Structure 1
Amino acid sequence: MIERDKIVIAGRVNTGKSSLMNLLTRQETSITDPRAGTTADTSRTFIEFHGLGPVALFDTAGIDEEGGLGAKKKKKVLDLIKESDLILLLINPRQEDFSAEKALIQYIRAQEKQLLIIYNIFHSSDKERIADIEKNIPDLKFHKKIKMSAVNESDRRPLEEFILKNYSSSLRPRPLLPFLKPDLFYPFIIPMDGESPEGRLIRPQSVLLEYILRNGGFVAAYRPGFIADLKEKKLVPESELDRADKFFKSFSEIGCVICDSQVVDYADKVIPSDVLLTTFSIVMINYQSHGKLAAFRDGIRRLKSLKRGDRVLIAEACNHTRMQEDIGTVQIPKVIEERFPEVVVEHSFGREFSETSEIGAYDLVIHCGGCMIDSGKLAARIRDLDALGVPYTNYGLFLSWKGGEKLLERVLKPWGLDLI
């Protein structure tokens, strides 16, 4: 999985944000025009920033655009800042009112994001106004600044050096499977049901396969041939049990079995009790949350006290057409309906999360593995939920809980976590 630093270019309308985007990318990535509001929506491009690595660079709409549409654009910019690593704030020294910049700097500081200031110089006399601007915005003294022209090619390299010198990337290599040991087998149980795409593995499976191979482990995969029977709660055929037994006896030393969440209760039955077991969803949420699996475990406790009228949000970050046995829209809601018949279940789909004001109304959030969003976006969701006091858990943990506390305890064991 490629981790990218997310750098956001922000500022008022017509401060030269799109010109700066084009300067850094060395191409006409964004449309530029002297008329206000040219950037109608956030645009993103990927670049290799030498000295930093892979970067996602964002051009944004002006934060001071008026009207209902302007308010929507501003909200999108603020949401993006919550998920970002570095903000480049462009300031036009020629303007008279700096209230929008002052408010934005306060917001960025409250989000604890790194901020660099760029004075976009349109005329040499603009530099004379900077001292007065910094008196007007006291918070500017806490941040490094550069004076340059966003349309001057000769200023590109000084800008790159300014960013490299003053930005400290928070991205650090981290293990996808921290308990992996070389020369052990890591069998996968992959059901490949009706939603599984042909010709490829889904992302959690493919990235884990690559990670284990790269780090010296052995991988084997097994597809149960009884998915329909399992979902209809029929007995697993004896022939399938024999097949599973043959598969697992093929390995002398198993490091851990990783399975799809929807077959975790089956895996628990066919895998010897002394063999470690977890799910792809749990692996991904631990990785994407930078090791905050314990917080998702803690959210499971809320299931014990759900009552009539409580609201549960099922949050799935990827977009795909839903089929009959979809985990998020069918399997998890079915379990909730059976155990908590008077609880209200709602859904949130896609890369953008619900409004903060709406999230606070939920009593529990059940989140997918988060494999189709970047870790910054997931971190922003977690911060919002923590700030609102809304407990949250994960698909893999929930479906393990469905199988009983012993199963939940088992899938947590590889991570060194107790049930509590």
Structure 2
Amino acid sequence: MEQTPKANRVHIGFFGRCNAGKSTLINMLTDQPVSLVSEVAGTTTDPVSKSMEILPLGPVVITDTAGIDDTSELGALRIEKSEEIIKKINLAVYVLRNDQAPTADDMMWLNKLKQNNVPIALFINEINTSPSESTSNNQNYVSESTSNKANNAHQGYINTYSELTSIATVVGSTDFTSNRDRLMLLDLLGGLTPLDVEGEQTLLQGLVEPGDTIVLVCPIDSAAPKGRLILPQVQTIREILDHKGLALVCQTEELPTLLGKISQKPKLVITDSQAFEAVNALTPADIPLTSFSILMARFKGKLQDLVMGVNALNNLKPGARVLISEGCTHRRQCDDIGTVKIPMWLKKKGHTDLHLEFTSGGAFPKDVSGYDLIIHCGACMLTRREVLRRIDYAVVQGTPIVNYGVLIASLHGILERAISPFLDELDRKGFEC
């Protein structure tokens, strides 16, 4: 679990009203005090995330959100953050109390999750009350004996509010005290199918077989993290090993020496996109070449849209609005790729007087219709669902979007070579190299 990148885990969001029991449920499922628990409404403010493992889902990220009915001074902002979580998660857990009828807000949020195609697991928080203490609309929810209470406590509630079953999968109820309930809920939750996860797709899907030699060019410059490699490089090395291939790693200037020392040409050379121009010149034409960023675009599932977006370069005019978006947050370097190098390369190719705007991390505008082009990073730190959402925003609003690696290859005149390993997967009619 600890070796699985956060972006590749299944993201599960927990939703419900204040004091519905979301935080308590998370603490029970994780068997850890992940979220603060209090009878005071609005205890959970900003979304709180925790990585863990739920079999058979495997490594997951669980996010606790603020109550949907938060009426505090900052409630509107907290609810807005909870709405943003919907766009990133693969699975939702919605918590209701069995002593309270579903409200209009509950139904609105459940339908909002459904409209975003997020699978919903509905948990009923079993509050220890008698039928006479329940809401007037829910007089029949307690009908089971103590012995089968853990498994069937929610049935009367669901019978009363049958419309819930058309929106969510009712996977259980709990009194938050039973280890049996915890194991049962983990098993039920693990049986659901999350939305937009990578599944069996990998970075090197179909590109490497046992015994293949793959050369990785990993420049160590001011942007490289101290003492380690960046995530796409680490993921690629691991996949080569998983496929019983041979991973050879070098910096740009060592590439000719490495190629001269191996008796057979490598199956593929993969480079950091920033070194595309130099690595292209150093790699013989009969050896396929691509970049980590392009592999990430393919891994996230929308390489064709990102390749098609590069055609917009030919139509950029002075004053054109261009959004450069990075999925991670980091301290800007003097030679930062997004804020320094890409603008420099654009200018060298004659794209002058552009109006450049920048976003990073979770920030990405919903309305992108005013941009003439979006240039997005490889998105190694974003979930596939988040990447698909951003690309879909652009496509639906008619705004071209391109990936760092695809853009840099195009600006250096080597796009055809850089995407050649994937041509069989692309619709060649939709773009020009």
TM normalised by structure 2 equals 0.84
1:205 aligns with 2:229: no
Q: Distance in 1 between matches of 2:56 and 2:224?
A: 39
For 1:155, the aligned partner's letter is D
State which drifts further: 388-397 or 102-111: 388-397
Q: Distance in 1 between matches of 2:318 and 2:375?
A: 18
2:267 aligned partner: 255
1:354 Cα offset (Å): 2.2
Query: What is the correspondence of 1:344-355 to structure 2 with a 5 Å cutoff?
Result: 344-350=355-361, 352-355=362-365
2:152 aligned partner: none
1:144 aligns with 2:169: yes
1:325 aligns with 2:325: no
1:157 aligned partner: 183
1:141 Cα offset (Å): 2.8
State which drifts further: 131-140 or 158-167: 131-140
Q: Distance in 2 between matches of 1:93 and 1:62?
A: 17
2:153 aligned partner: none
Contact kept? 1:94, 1:129, Cα under 8 Å: no
1:296 aligned partner: 306
1:74 aligns with 2:100: no
Contact kept? 2:259, 2:265, Cα under 8 Å: no
Q: 1:171 to 1:267 in 2, by over 3 A?
A: closer
**3-state secondary structure, aligned to 2:67:** coil
2:109 aligned partner: 104
1:310 aligned partner: 320
1:114 Cα offset (Å): 0.2
**3-state secondary structure, aligned to 2:139:** helix
1:335 aligned partner: 345
1:281 Cα offset (Å): 1.2
Contact kept? 2:271, 2:292, Cα under 8 Å: yes
Measured against aligned partners, the alpha-carbon deviations of 1:107-166 in whole angstroms (never above 9, x if no partner) come to 111100101222222124246366788777835434322552343324323322332344
1:28 Cα offset (Å): 1.9
1:61 aligns with 2:66: yes
Q: Distance in 1 between matches of 2:295 and 2:171?
A: 42
1:390 aligned partner: 399
Question: Which of residues 211, 216, 219 in structure 1 aligns to 2:244?
Answer: 216
**3-state secondary structure, aligned to 2:92:** strand
Q: Distance in 1 between matches of 2:43 and 2:140?
A: 26
**3-state secondary structure, aligned to 1:386:** helix
1:68 Cα offset (Å): 5.5
Q: Distance in 2 between matches of 1:144 and 1:246?
A: 59
1:412 Cα offset (Å): 0.4
For 1:43, the aligned partner's letter is V
For 1:307, the aligned partner's letter is K
Q: 1:369 to 1:129 in 2, by over 3 A?
A: farther
TM normalised by structure 1 equals 0.87
1:237 aligned partner: none
1:415 aligns with 2:385: no
**3-state secondary structure, aligned to 2:74:** helix
Q: Distance in 1 between matches of 2:34 and 2:226?
A: 35
1:64 Cα offset (Å): 1.4
Q: Distance in 1 between matches of 2:329 and 2:211?
A: 37
For 1:66, the aligned partner's letter is T
Contact kept? 1:121, 1:147, Cα under 8 Å: no
State which drifts further: 65-74 or 321-330: 65-74
Q: 1:188 to 1:168 in 2, by over 3 A?
A: closer
1:194 aligned partner: 222
Q: 1:263 to 1:49 in 2, by over 3 A?
A: same
Q: 1:244 to 1:31 in 2, by over 3 A?
A: closer
1:284 aligned partner: 296
For 2:315, the aligned partner's letter is S
Contact kept? 1:188, 1:257, Cα under 8 Å: yes
Contact kept? 2:265, 2:287, Cα under 8 Å: no
Measured against aligned partners, the alpha-carbon deviations of 1:209-254 in whole angstroms (never above 9, x if no partner) come to 12112212222223234xxxxxxxxxxxxxxxxx654432333131
Contact kept? 1:261, 1:399, Cα under 8 Å: yes
Contact kept? 1:46, 1:57, Cα under 8 Å: yes
Contact kept? 2:172, 2:185, Cα under 8 Å: no
Q: 1:249 to 1:147 in 2, by over 3 A?
A: closer
- Structure 2 gaps of 5+ residues are 142-155
The count of residues paired between Structure 1 and Structure 2 equals 397
2:40 aligned partner: 35
Contact kept? 2:364, 2:390, Cα under 8 Å: no
Q: Distance in 2 between matches of 1:133 and 1:224?
A: 62
State which drifts further: 25-34 or 140-149: 140-149
Q: Distance in 2 between matches of 1:387 and 1:181?
A: 38
Contact kept? 1:16, 1:150, Cα under 8 Å: no
2:409 aligned partner: 400
Q: Distance in 1 between matches of 2:291 and 2:10?
A: 28
For 2:82, the aligned partner's letter is V
1:275 Cα offset (Å): 1.0
Aligned-residue RMSD, C-alpha: 2.4
